[in-house]
Amino acid sequence: MRDSSGTGLLAALVDLGWHDMLIEAPDSTVPLVFRLLGETGAHAPLLNDVIHAAAGRPAAGPLPLPYAGGSWVQWDHTDDDGSLLDPDLPIRQVPPGLEIPLAAGRRALGWWLTGASRAMLTLARTHAIDRVQFGRPVASFQAIRHRLAEALVAIEGAEATLEAATDDLGCLLAKAAAGQAALVAARHCQQTLGGIGFTAEHDLHRHLRRVLVLDGLLGSSRELLREAGTTVRTAGTAARLVQL
């Protein structure tokens, strides 16, 4: 995944049996593959396959996917120039599509978001250890430690929620938690990196763009939390997501 992206990575995964693994062992295949996408910064139009499989259909072409703000997009199987927000991703706006099963797709995106969050955290931690100010590594400063610790807690909490998600509401909340964790990690890692984190020469900006796009896909964290609140309020009860 470190050396390929887009249709090239999709073709390599298909040769490895991606579609068969997606049907036979989705609970282990999806977290592994999508978390690696986030950690490596690679991308491929795998979300279409996850949703097709969840609907009981064979792998086919791109699907119209709901996006934040009530818009719809399509993740094309090409290597063309991408969206304005992330030029690496071949995502374009399309008219509204038919209803699709969202739970599996949201869970997959959640793992992608946590993988990207861990990549940002690794960059920030490495910088904090190597960067010296006032004769000390900045990692020794309490404010830096607090930022990195808060990012780590948010990421691990999101991963625990993803592991526990089994139904529509659980996957909705897990994707929202992963989106929030990614935004927390982006904010704290940017502050830890300081000026270098604002430059195009540093890798942080690639992960930052990626999490902004993925958070909006299939509903942003803010929209999903509102949807979950509406669901609970309408039902008058909340399901117990994890047996503590």
Domain hosting 185: range is: 103-235
pLDDT confidence band for 1 (50 / 70 / 90) = low
- pLDDT for 95 beyond 90: yes
pLDDT tens-place string over residues 104-129? 999 999 999 999 999 999 999 999 99
Query: What per-residue confidence (pLDDT) applies to 60?
Result: 83
Q: How far is CA 59 from CA 6, 52, 68, in A?
A: 16, 6, 25
Percent pLDDT > 70 in the chain is: 95
- Shared domain for 51 and 18, answered yes or no, is yes
pLDDT confidence band for 244 (50 / 70 / 90) = very low
Query: What per-residue confidence (pLDDT) applies to 195?
Result: 81
| Averaged pLDDT for residues 151-159 | 97
- Shared domain for 32 and 64, answered yes or no, is yes
- pLDDT for 79 beyond 90: no
Structural contact between residues 185 and 119, judged by C-beta atoms closer than 8 angstroms = no
Which residue, 113, 238, 132, is CA-closest to 180?
A: 113
**CATH label of the domain that carries residue 132:** 1.20.140.10
- pLDDT for 87 beyond 70: yes
pLDDT tens-place string over residues 63-72? 999 999 999 9
Amino acid at 188: H
Q: How far is CA 18 from CA 9, 10, 25, 30, in A?
A: 11, 9, 10, 10
- Shared domain for 138 and 65, answered yes or no, is no
Domain final residue pick, 59, 76, 94: 94
| Averaged pLDDT for residues 126-147 | 89
**Count of domains observed in the chain:** 2
pLDDT tens-place string over residues 183-234? 999 999 999 988 887 788 888 999 999 999 999 999 999 999 999 998 888 8
Q: Is residue 174 part of a domain?
A: yes
Q: Is residue 107 part of a domain?
A: yes
Query: What per-residue confidence (pLDDT) applies to 241?
Result: 54
Q: What integer best gives the mean pLDDT of the chain?
A: 90
- Shared domain for 73 and 139, answered yes or no, is no
Structural contact between residues 122 and 170, judged by C-beta atoms closer than 8 angstroms = no
Q: Which tokens go with 193?
A: 């990196």
Query: What per-residue confidence (pLDDT) applies to 194?
Result: 87
Q: Which tokens go with 39?
A: 């950690």
- pLDDT for 172 beyond 70: yes
| Averaged pLDDT for residues 5-26 | 92
Q: Is residue 1 part of a domain?
A: no
